[in-house]
Amino acid sequence: MVRVKNPQDFWAGLLFLVVGLLAAYFGRNYVFGAATKMGPGYLPTVLSWMLAGLGAFLALRALLESGPGIERSLYRPQLLIVAAIVVFALLIERLGLAPTVIVVTVIAALASREMRWIETLILSAGLAILCVLLFVKVLGQPLSIYTWGF
């Protein structure tokens, strides 16, 4: 009987292995090309096999080396991070980039019990400015900085 000595690495490895194999399977119809003339499927295929290899390595190593068990999951942070992603998708076209980044940063910060309002508001304002400078000004993305679309 095989005994898993490191459950965290084992299950993470299996997850990586499955995601990597699924990505390789779904990307199999793209033209691969060669290292000197890469096709559209070259990078996704290489990365998916690297992820699958890393997953296999982690899972096998978890059978040999001891490690910590799996801790109880915390639902509040998970729900708030998913909520932040959904809120971003819902608000980006209605409010624009800067207000959306501020709202999403506050929602994501609520996931931590150590969140402080002053630090969160400073961080959200800084991230909004950085995102506007990077995506709109430097990269020229067609995003509105501020809109009122409700």
Mean pLDDT by groups of 10 residues along the chain of 150 residues? 86 96 92 84 92 96 85 90 96 94 97 94 97 93 81
Q: Whole-angstrom Cα distance, residue 150 to residue 133?
A: 25
Q: Which one-letter amino acid corresponds to residue 103?
A: V
Q: What does the alpha-carbon distance between residue 31 and residue 44 come to, in Å, rounded to a whole number? A: 11
- Give the model's pLDDT for residue 120: 96
Decide if 110 contacts 83 (C-beta within 8 A): no
Cα 102 to Cα 83: distance, rounded to the nearest angstrom? 14
Neighbours of 71 (CB within 10 A): 7
The pLDDT of residue 71: 80
Q: What is the CA 117 to chain-centroid distance, rounded?
A: 25
From residue 88, alpha-carbon distances to 17, 107, 115, 144 in Å are 30, 10, 20, 14
Q: What is the pLDDT of residue 150?
A: 58
CA 70 – CA 34 distance, rounded (Å): 41
Q: For position 122, what pLDDT does the model report?
A: 97
Closest CA to 55 of 10, 16, 7, 8: 16
| pLDDT of res. 31 | 86
Given a contact cutoff of 8 angstroms between Cβ atoms, the answer to whether 124 and 102 are in contact is yes
Instruction: Supply the pLDDT for residue 16.
Output: 97
